[in-house]
Structure 1
C-alpha cells in the first residue's frame, strides 16, 4: 500500500489505521487533514486497501480537487483573520510581537521563528476574544464556569465538559475560530453556553441556543462551507 499519492501535482499522504471493530477496509479523503485515511481491520487488509486505492483513483482525484489550498505563514502571504484577509508583513526590523495595522499583520524578528510567533499570537487573540464572551453568556444563564481554553482540534469547534459539576464547566474552543467572522465565533460560544444548561442536543437545547443566538443555523452553514479552509492556515504548500 502506498504511503503517498501524487494527485494533480499535489503530494497527498495515505495514512492507515487499524480499528479492532472494523469488519473491512474503508477509505476516506479528509478535507481537514489533507490526507487519504484508510481504516483497516485488526488483522490483514493491506492488499484490499491497495486495490481500493487503485480502483478509486478517479473518486480520490475528485475529492482532492475540492480541498482548500495551504495558506502558509510566509512574508507577503495572505491569511484570514476575524473574517478578513490580511497580509503577513514581515520585516526583520519590525517589532517581534505581531500587530494588526490596517490589513497588514506586521511582525519582525528572525524569519525561522515566524510560524511559531504568528500562531502563538493567533491563539492569544482567540482566547482574548472568546473567554469574555463565554463568561458573559455563562453569567447570563446563571451557570458556573471554571475555565475557558483554546486548542487545535480538528473534530469540533468547541466542547463543554463538567457542566454538572459543582465546580463549574470547562469550555474549550479551536483557536482557528479567530480566523472566522466574529458572528461565527459568537455562534459557537452560544452553542457551548447552551450546553451549560442542556448536556444534549434536545429540542430544549436548540431552543435555548436560538434564543442566545438567532444566527446559529447560519453559522453552521458558514462553517460547513468554509471551515475546512481554516485548518489549512499555517500549513506549508
Structure 2
C-alpha cells in the first residue's frame, strides 16, 4: 500500500551563495499560507495554518524564487565584531581597533574603538559596551521627559527586539511605567534615538496613537517624522550589527 508523504519544507536556501534560513510557523488563526522575506531577521518566513499547508509553502518557495533573490539582494550586509570592522556608533562609522595588549574595557577614541584581551571574547565585550552606552544615554533622556510631563517611571531597560524600537507598559499604574528600548538605537544618530524616547514618553500620557498622542509627540520632538523616515531607510541595517552572517 502506497502512503502519501507530506512534503518537507527546507530549513535553508542558498541565495547567491548566501545561506538564508527558512522558518515555518503555524498560526492558529491563519486561513492560508503566507510567504515573507524579513530583512531584519535575515530569513524567509512561512506562515502556515493550524494543519497542513506544507505543500503550498514548498510551491510558493519555488514559484517566488526570483522574488526571494531580489529581496535578499537588498538585505544589509552583516557587520561582525571583528578587528578592523566598521560599526556605527551614534550614526558615525567607528573602526574596531583590537590589540591583545589594549585595555580590555572598550574605549572610544575618535573614530576608533580600542579594545584588548582575548580575541575570542571580543564580540561579548563590544556588545556589552554598546548596551551600556545605550542605557547611559536613553535613561536620563527618558527621565527628563517623564519629569517634564509629571509622570512616574518604574523602570527603564534595553533589550534586543526586532519588532519595535521602544515600548511602554504600565503607564496607568500608580507604581510608574516600564519603558524598554532596543539597545541597537545606540548605533543610530542621537536625534533619531531621542525621537524614540519622545515617542515612548508621549505614551506616558496617551496609551494610543490618537491625534492627541501625535500632537504631544511632535511637541516633545519636532523631528519625529524625520526620525521615522530615517529608521524606515536605515533601521534594518542596525539589526545586522554584530552578525557573522
TM-score normalised by the chain length of structure 2: 0.96
Deviations 1:131-184 (A, max 9, x none): 000000000001111111000000000000000000110110000000000000
1:226 maps to which of 207, 216, 234: 234
Deviations 1:188-225 (A, max 9, x none): 00000000000000000000000000000000000000
**Aligned position for 1:94:** 102
**Aligned position for 1:3:** 11
CA distance in 2 between partners of 1:21 and 1:204 (Å): 33
TM-score normalised by the chain length of structure 1: 0.99
Alignment: residue pair count:
237
Gaps of 5+ in 1: none
2:148 maps to which of 133, 140, 162: 140
| 1:181 equivalenced with 2:189 (yes/no) | yes
CA distance in 2 between partners of 1:131 and 1:233 (Å): 22
Instruction: Report the structure number with the largest CA radius of gyration.
Output: 2
| 1:210 equivalenced with 2:239 (yes/no) | no
Once the 2 structures are TM-superposed, how far is the Cα of residue 50 of structure 1 from its aligned partner? Answer: 0.5
Runs of at least 4 residues off by over 3 Å: none
Gaps of 5+ in 2: 1-8
**Aligned position for 1:14:** 22
CA distance in 2 between partners of 1:146 and 1:50 (Å): 47
CA distance in 1 between partners of 2:208 and 2:101 (Å): 51
**Aligned position for 2:202:** 194
1:76 maps to which of 80, 84, 94: 84
Q: 3-state SS of the aligned residue for 2:95?
A: strand
Once the 2 structures are TM-superposed, how far is the Cα of residue 9 of structure 1 from its aligned partner? Answer: 1.4
Q: 3-state SS of the aligned residue for 2:173?
A: coil
| 1:123 equivalenced with 2:131 (yes/no) | yes
Once the 2 structures are TM-superposed, how far is the Cα of residue 81 of structure 1 from its aligned partner? Answer: 0.4
